Amino acid sequence: MLYDPAPAGRVVCKLCRHYCKIPSGRWGICGVRKNINGKLYTFVYERAIAVHVDPIEKKPLFHVYPGSRSFSIATAGCNFHCDFCQNHDISQVEIPKKPSDSEDDSHLPGSPFSVEQAVKTAKFYRCQSISYTYTEPTIFFEYAYDIARKASAEGILNVFVTNGYLSEEAIEKIAPYLDAANVDLKGFNTDFYRKKIGAKLENVLECLKSLKRHGVWVEVTTLVVPGYDDDEDNLRKVARFIRQELGEETPWHISRFFPHYKMQYLAPTSVSVLRRARQIGLEEGLRYVYTGNVPGDEGEHTYCYRCGALLIQRLGFQIVKNRIRNARCPDCGVPIDGLGMSGTLDE
């Protein structure tokens, strides 16, 4: 799906904002889409690398049916090459260097897992949603799209956990079936995006705005990497962008970095930096700001933005208490933003 033929046997992939121009016999940046004699093929359709049942809070999505289960699925590959990727063993596949028009996909790990199996498994485990996650759902778009259509018909929500590089064409295609997305916004440092991620910040910002325009419930995650995107000016720019362009109701998750992959030389993010970032988000007018990867921190909880009452108490990915009733604060009655925020657990 979503590619155009180009001169000299090339194709232009239109799934993500790289818009790869791929010669015949070559692979795209993601390593899972290949031009074979002027036609673009996906090599990960119905080929899952990971399937799990997760709490929706793990995505993290704190305002989408809190306390519910989400069936999570991924294939190998990614269109980003983050030096700090925590799932690099499945996202960073080695792309064959020698051109070939054969249909050999031996470099891609994964096991057969059909669209029908995905939906049936989600129903079996009584999952409220299906999350396309762990790697990058954009690169297994056809697989996710077919699952999402069937899941939507069954009353199951669909969630993208994404780096925010979907093309406008991909967003328009998936939007009728996409209920929510958690999008990584890895700071406002253009050099950081270019050198450590392999992407352009402005494209992520445009993707975020487009998802919002298309009616997708959006939550934003910023991984705070020491020395790269942890200064207050950067964090304030992120918070201000969220409020001005996405809306004050958009939750912001500020996540603690731990050494991974090519950036094991760094120390974990200071908890004090995360708490200051949360304070900045609240100062900038965001209603819901959360700290991540710090179990037991007060920033895990949901508070009423009007009266300050504790509404949802969390410990890690577990909900301890949920006081929200009929999507409102039980103390002052103000509406609480999100999907399925009616309250699911007793006090």
**Is 181 a member of any domain?**
yes
pLDDT at 270 over 50: yes
Q: Does one domain contain both 260 and 223?
A: yes
Q: Does one domain contain both 269 and 340?
A: no
What per-residue confidence (pLDDT) applies to 342?
86
**Is 4 a member of any domain?**
no
What per-residue confidence (pLDDT) applies to 346?
37
Confidence of residue 93 (pLDDT cuts 50, 70, 90): confident
pLDDT at 47 over 80: yes
Q: Does one domain contain both 220 and 347?
A: no
Strand pairing of 318-322 and 310-315? antiparallel
Q: What are phi and psi of 218, to 5 degrees?
A: -115, 135
What per-residue confidence (pLDDT) applies to 343?
65
What are the Cα distances from residue 197, in Å, to 165, 194, 228, 275?
A: 12, 6, 12, 25
Residues with Cβ within 8 Å of 41's Cβ and at least 6 positions away in sequence, in order, are 33, 34, 35, 103
Write the pLDDT tens digit of every residue in 171-191: 999 999 999 999 999 989 999
- Structure token pair of residue 36: 């074979």
Mean pLDDT within 79-97: 87
Q: Does one domain contain both 300 and 313?
A: no
Confidence of residue 121 (pLDDT cuts 50, 70, 90): very high
**Is 266 a member of any domain?**
yes
Q: Does one domain contain both 197 and 143?
A: yes
- Domain extent, residue 262, equals 44-101+108-308
**Is 132 a member of any domain?**
yes
**Is 127 a member of any domain?**
yes
Helix (H) or strand (E) holding 233, with range, is helix 232-241
**Is 36 a member of any domain?**
no
What per-residue confidence (pLDDT) applies to 344?
52
Q: Does one domain contain both 325 and 346?
A: yes
pTM for this entry: 0.95
pLDDT at 345 over 50: no
**Is 21 a member of any domain?**
no
Q: Does one domain contain both 297 and 212?
A: yes
What per-residue confidence (pLDDT) applies to 240?
98
pLDDT at 58 over 80: yes
Q: Does one domain contain both 280 and 315?
A: no
CATH code, domain with 274: 3.20.20.70
Q: Does one domain contain both 185 and 197?
A: yes
Q: Does one domain contain both 85 and 97?
A: yes
Q: Does one domain contain both 150 and 89?
A: yes
Write the pLDDT tens digit of every residue in 242-269: 999 999 999 999 999 999 889 999 999 9
Q: Does one domain contain both 236 and 210?
A: yes
**Is 121 a member of any domain?**
yes
Per the structure, the count of domains in the chain is: 2
